[in-house]
Structure 1
Amino acid sequence: MSELVLAIDAGTTGIRSMFFDPSGNVVAQAYSEFESLFPHPSWVEQRADYWWTKSCDTIHSAMKESRLSPEHVVAISVTNQRETIVPVDSSGKPLRNAIVWQDRRTVQQCDSIARAVPPDLVYSVTGLTIDPYFSAPKILWIKEKEAEVFDRAEKFLLVHDYLIYRLSGEFATDYSNASRTLLFDIRRADWSDEILGPLGIPPDKLARPVESGSQVGGLSPAASKETGLKPGTPVIAGGGDQQCAALGVGVVREGLIKSTTGTGTFLLAHSRTVRRDPGKRVVCSRHVVPNSFVIEASMFTTGSALRWFRNNLGSEEVSVAEARGVDAYDVITEAAEKVPPGSEGVIHIPHFAGSGAPNWNPHARGIFAGLALGHTRNHLIRAILEGVSYDIRNNVEVMRELGIPVSEVRVTGGAARSRTWMQIQADVLRTPVVRTQMEEATALGAAILAFRGVNIFKSIPEAAERMVQLRDRLTPTPETLDVYSREYLNFKALYDAVADIRWDED
């Protein structure tokens, strides 16, 4: 058996441990979920020790099922849900539950940040806008509400950092994760005194930032006993889930964009330089590729829009899927093929939980417009697929406006399983859409970093070239150019017409 690496993918709902060979093939894997806690309706917390126990459990399960020997594992890396933060003492023991990225308790702390540091300076230094999403307001909440915990905290760790510590005994973070805290200078690749000082957060309470793909340390004897892996196995700095997913589909040069559509959609465009949007419609973070950045756009309810149809209107398609023994989404997207491009005038805006990038309108809501008596459920289905694609195009146009070349979109996530939907995206974006063989692109990105960290490959782009396996390339259909150009403008006009409506007010 060839040399293998272990990629630990610590997501929002569970841990997946995957062993890869140098060709990007999965040799073994296991997954286990953990619970989130909700002390109040808008609060989301997790127990950090569960991240570790589930990591150990899945490592053991994967190795046992595939009869892997620890001798074959040459490196370990980690990828993770970003922004989630946990305070630990000097021995790495959590002092409270982790506050998860989804948590919305920190609106007041965001206001405090804006008063302490001009928002334009925050955006200029960190590449981010001030929002409860990021780590800094979570740390401030602990500082204000749980002062004893703040004072006792040796470090505030991200999920990646906590698992790296449990593996190696080292307090370290990577540039891509650090750049999602609202405390990191993305140009200097270091913690920002301009931000930390006014907020009263000592820099020594944060982990040492290192480049993704660099060796942090070796597997400790204690971690060796708990994981069953060989002591001293190199532990390699990984990266945030979205950056690793971009690497896992081969986004290692300008011109390539990663688009992940699951519940929502995350777009990441590779950039060799920091690019800041005067309108703050998109954000800029560090990539896991050295000396590179990613321009990010987040849309909240894209895949969710199709799930809404399935749950509320799709009983017919669900029944057909059950009879055929296939996924309901396959039947739903097949139905879209019965309707011509443009959905014969039906337009859908997929803003069921507000609008993310580029509009950032929390009051926006989902809309179907242009309905006539002759339209059918199939028109609604195709309108959803097209509406999501228009929303993605809206953000791609912002990236082009910032001077980012866009030659190809690499797709991942559940939506990428549908060739029909991806062809619609290629047609709407007027850009080739490429699907890859590996659905778990995030873990593959961490595996690429692990192989590079032990010099199996000379560079991260070389590793990606070897390990990322392309599935198919969908090119725009010339015949759809006129209709999608027209309907995209109608989509934008419809949003503008209803943008100021407050649907949720009495």
Structure 2
Amino acid sequence: MKPSNEDLLLGIDIGTQGVKGAIVSLDGKVLAEAFLEHSCQYPRIGWVEHDIERNWWLNPSWVIQKMLLENEINPQQIRAVFPSGLHPNFGPTDEEGNPIYGAILYSDNRAIRELDEINQKYHLKLTSEEMIPKLVWFIRHEPESASRMKKFFDAAQYFVYRLCGEYVTDTISVGGWGAIYHSPSCSWKEDVCEELGIDPAILPRVVAPLTVVGEVQNKAAIETGLAKGTLVIAGTNDVTASTISGGATKTSEAIAYYGTAGLLPVMKVDMDFALRYPYPYEEKGERPQDGYLYDYPAYCLTTGDSLRWFRDEFGYEQRLIEAQNGISAYAQFDQLAESAPETCDGLIFIPHMLGQRSPRFNPYASGAFIGLRRSHTRSHLFRSLLEAWGYTIRYGLECYYPQGHPLKRLIATGGGARSKIWRQIVTDITGIPQEYAPNAEGSIADAYLAGMAVGYFENFDILLRQWLSPGEMIYPRMEKIAIYDKGYQQFVRVHQILEPLFNPN
């Protein structure tokens, strides 16, 4: 496609806690941004769901309308839209894409028996992160709904379907499903599907993330405000968008993602290759995620979510000030955290409020404050939440890479990375310098990927030179490392002591 000075690109990032959109010019100028917060549902302990229609369609549509109307942008200027979203999830629908059940999210732990069965039968090391155990659970435990299921979606792919009617998934995201997909050949394992009771007819077409899959249809144009005929790109997961938004595009580079979930995804092939071709290695069960683009040495489901929980349950005063004066409740809590000492006078927070993902998978783990004393205040409690993410990263890296981690560059991204004190705490605990990318938004990366998909950009050169702001470097402070080393050793000991207590057997 021949570029014009008036051409614009749209990125939409559907997250666990909200939707973020960005409309960007070809030279990287952000002309419009919008965000809408949404919530999860928790029907039972260990269950986590999204409302498919509201969270994955109505909310993104509202964000797009808001950007177009408030910034007086002509939708005809938008040449392509690229979505990313939380992943992996199981969102079942009927033939027409109407939801028949809540979307079972990546953080849901209901399918533990199915998970154990699949791991034992196929000699894999899946966790309850992967989607296929949830699909098998649904078929077995919700047979009436399952009989009406003709499709199932992740967040970004549902948005694509509602825009243009194409039922697809992408070659990066599907690598995180587990068991039924052969990555090198980009094909389904029909024998495994048959053994698990999965009808191959309900499986989506698998395409590369940069594939143009269709155009915005008339009904979607009315509901989103986009122009009919706008190109729709296949999209991918939010981990990939966040990684690119920080400027990490090589195997030696990684992000520390300060999001609802906190994770440190380590790429196993360069990003440019992964966006265009199937992942070249198959799942063999030799280690977790061995058929997927990323390793997850550090992963916590409730890194940012624990902060939101704290804000909602103990931050009435801060939320009131935010409503009256516009000062973020999280910024106010950061100020409180500044007043608490390193290691919080012995207070340790175990952050596994929805189960543990790393360095060992334990869906029965839970959150805990250890060492709580009468002298502790909200400042100590909140700071301990921040420190837990640093301890989690260090613990994960040391367990996953006992001979030393391969990282040459670590970039802090995600909404929580805006917190200067949090970035410094994590850097001091891990001893790894972090680069902070101030405009590292998944929605902006999505807009750039829309441009790559339609031929405006050949690679990431323009992204790195024009679109992304220079990063701020955060270095570990030598005088703090020894202090935090004691806190870290305590964090590890507490994990080891609590581990058998979390096991229901």
TM-score bracket, shorter-length normalisation: 0.7 to 0.9
- Per the alignment, in what secondary structure is the counterpart of residue 93 of structure 1? coil
Structure 2 residue 199 is the aligned partner of structure 1 residue 202: yes
The CA deviation string for residues 32-84 of structure 1, in whole angstroms up to 9 with x for no partner, is 46676666666555554433344333322321111111231111111112233
1:229 counterpart residue number: 226
In the aligned structure 2, how far is the partner of 1:213 from the partner of 1:330? 37
Correspondence 1:51-70 to 2 at 5 A: 51-70=56-75
> 1:358 deviation in Å?
0.9
Contact 1:236–1:453 (8 Å) recurs in 2: yes
Alignment of 1:55-134 (within 5 A): 55-90=60-95, 92-94=96-98, 96-101=100-105, 102-114=107-119, 117-118=121-122, 120=123, 122-123=124-125, 129-131=126-128, 133-134=129-130
Q: CA-atom RMSD, angstroms? A: 3.7
Match of residue 427 from structure 1: 428
- Taking a change above 3 Å as real, the CA distance of residues 331 and 68 of structure 1, as seen in their structure-2 partners, is closer
Offset from partner CA, 1:262-297 (integer Å, 9 cap, x none): 4441221222286999885x535645xxxxx45464
> Given the two structures, how large is their TM-score scaled by the length of structure 2?
0.82
Deviation at 1:422, TM superposition (A): 0.7
The residue identity in structure 1 corresponding to 2:86 is Q
SS at match of 1:209: strand
Q: Does 1:143 find its partner at 2:147?
A: no
- Whether the 8 Å CA contact 1:172–1:208 is kept in 2: the answer is yes
2:26 alignment partner in structure 1: 22
Q: Is the 8 A contact 2:86 2:238 kept in 1?
A: yes
Match of 1:477 in 2: 477
Paired residue for 2:277?
Answer: none
- After superposition, the Cα gap between the structure-2 partners of 1:394 and 1:283, relative to the gap in structure 1 and judged at 3 Å, is farther
- Cα separation, 2, equivalents of 1:423 and 1:309: 21
Query: Does 206-215 or 33-42 show the bigger shift?
Result: 33-42
Query: 1:162 offset after TM fit, Å?
Result: 2.2
1:8 matched to 2:12? The reply is yes
Contact 2:413 2:437 in 1 (8 A): yes
The CA distance in 1 between the partners of 2:410 and 2:284, in whole Å, is 21
Counterpart residue type for residue 185 of structure 1: H
Q: Does 1:366 align with 2:368?
A: yes
Segment drifting more, 53-62 vs 317-326: 317-326
Q: CA deviation at 1:304?
A: 4.7
User: Is the contact made by 1:451 and 1:463 (CA closer than 8 Å) also made in structure 2?
Assistant: no
Superposed displacement of residue 402, structure 1:
7.6
Compute the displacement of 1:453 (Å). Answer: 0.2
Listed one character per residue, the Cα deviations across residues 178-208 of structure 1 (whole Å, up to 9, x for unaligned) are 1232232334443334532321323332111
Alignment-mate amino acid for residue 203 of structure 1: P
Q: Distance in 2 between matches of 1:308 and 1:157?
A: 28
Contact 2:176 2:289 in 1 (8 A): no
Q: 1:112 to 1:397 in 2, by over 3 A?
A: closer
Q: CA deviation at 1:352?
A: 4.4
1:197–1:426 CA distance, 2 compared to 1 (3 A): same
User: Aligned pair count?
Assistant: 487
Q: TM-score, normalised by structure 1?
A: 0.82
1:107-128 per-position Cα deviation (integer Å, ceiling 9, x unaligned):
443344346x32x2x34xxxxx
Preserved contact between residue 113 and residue 130 of structure 1 (Cα < 8 Å): no
Shift of 1:413: 2.9
Measure the CA separation in 2 of the matches of 1:497 and 1:136: 32
Whose RCO is larger (CA < 8 A, sep 6+)? 2
- Percent sequence identity over aligned pairs: 27
Is the Cα–Cα contact under 8 Å of residues 341 and 483 in structure 1 kept in the other structure? yes
The one-letter code sitting in structure 2 at the alignment partner of 1:157 is F
Task: Give the match for residue 158 of structure 1.
Answer: 154
